[in-house]
Amino acid sequence: MTDLLKLTSLCQNLECEYILNAPMKDYTTFQIGGPCDILVRPYDEGQTAALIQFCAANGIRWQVIGNGSNLLVPDGGVSGAVIQIGSNFSYIRKSLKEGEILCAAGASLSAAAAFAQKEGLTGLEFAWGIPGNVGGALFMNAGAYGGEMKDVVVCADYVDGMGNTRTIAASEMQLGYRHSVFSEKDWCITKVKLQLRPGDPAEIRRTMEDLMERRKSKQPLEYPSAGSVFKRPEGNYAGALIEQCGLKGRQIGGAQVSEKHAGFIVNRGGASSRDVTQLIREIQNTVAEQTGYRLECELRQL
């Protein structure tokens, strides 16, 4: 029995959902990417630990994804196992301490923000409308409109590369601009504890609605994308630099620099990973030549 067949057998024993040759375009907001050997969707931390432990012991390459909202998958797909921490593992509940909520890593950021609003807790409004999940947001210290994950996270549980379950405090996470310790390790976030503050539910709702309107007016939500493509360069903005260089609307294959916000690349239909990669390279080279700024891509590539 091959290692992959053994892994499917383990999934069956764990009663864990899995899909062979899963088309990754169906699991990314870019709607781009070839198949992976096996996509596994665990229901809890125990299943996640067992899967990673098995892969580590049998030399199976494994990677973790969340909602796929900051992800570019190769056209040829990826080998090994892709573990998706998503809707199967997405509870949100109040913690014992006042103002704390506990989120499974697969819970969507919008669901967490909505839960906080109903509980009269403020601090997570920035997350309303971000198309990712809580684990992915912590992985990259996601943020918007003056807020970011490092402002609210207390601690997190994760499974390390050998399948051991551990806890890490926020002070140890090395949270910075679009960075955390998780982005440097083969760890899988499973649970996140957030500390919020009491607030007026109606005022919180108004703030969330205002931020959503700002997103709709400025971001190309009508097309598949992976969000902002480049990190903000010190002293400037990626979108402004790209537009300044005349690249707004530039298209390669099905991939286009958004005509609405030049910091986004959108899939206008049938875009390949190659299209996106070539467009990213052209943007970086043109901006560097014309402005001296070297834009750093913030998309995660499997």
Q: What is the pLDDT of residues 189-221, one digit of tens each?
A: 999 999 999 999 999 999 999 999 999 999 999
Closest CA to 63 of 46, 47, 42, 39: 39
Q: How confident is the model at residue 154 (pLDDT cuts 50, 70, 90)?
A: very high
Categorize the per-residue pLDDT at 2 as very low, low, confident or very high, splitting at 50, 70 and 90. confident
Question: Does residue 21 register a pLDDT over 80?
Answer: yes
pLDDT band for position 84 (cuts 50, 70, 90): very high
Task: Answer yes or no: is pLDDT of 231 > 70.
Answer: yes
Sequence-distant (≥ 6) Cβ neighbours of residue 199 within 8 angstroms: 120, 121, 122, 123
Rounded to an integer, the average pLDDT of 231-249 is 96
**pLDDT at 244 exceeding the cut of 70:** yes
Point out the catalytic residue in the list 228, 258, 272, 273. 228
Contact of 183 with 212, CB cutoff 8 Å: no
Contact partners, residue 92, CB within 8 Å, separation at least 6: 101, 102, 103, 104, 107, 111, 112, 115
Domain parsing of the chain, residue ranges: 3-84, 92-207, 220-301
Of the chain, the percentage scoring pLDDT greater than 70 comes to 100
Mean pLDDT of 216-231: 94
| Whether the predicted pLDDT of 58 surpasses 60 | yes
Residue 3 has pLDDT above 90, yes or no: no
Q: Does the domain at residues 92-207 carry the CATH identifier 2.60.300.12?
A: no
Q: Of 3.30.43.10, 3.40.1030.10, 3.40.980.10, 3.30.2020.30, which CATH number belongs to 3-84?
A: 3.30.43.10
- The token pair that represents 107 in the structure block: 């819970």
Question: Under a CB-based contact definition with an 8 Å cutoff, are residues 174 and 181 in contact?
Answer: yes
Q: What does the chain come to in residues?
A: 302
Note the pLDDT of residue 283: 98
Set 41, 178, 250, 300: catalytic member:
178
The whole-number average pLDDT for the span 121-130 is: 96
On average, the pLDDT of the chain sits at 96
Specify whether 298 is catalytic.
yes
Looking at CATH, the fold of the domain delimited by 220-301 is given as 3.90.78
Instruction: Indicate the pTM of the whole model.
Output: 0.93
pLDDT for 102 beyond 70: yes
- The percentage of the chain sitting over the pLDDT mark of 90, rounded to a whole number, equals 95
- Average pLDDT score over residue span 107-113: 97
Band the pLDDT of 123: cuts 50, 70, 90.
very high
pLDDT at 272: 98
Residue tagged 């003056």 (tokens):
146
178 is catalytic: yes
Check 45, 125, 148, 298 and give the catalytic one: 298
CA atoms within 13 A on the CB side of 102: 11
Q: How many CB atoms sit inside 10 A of residue 42's CB?
A: 27
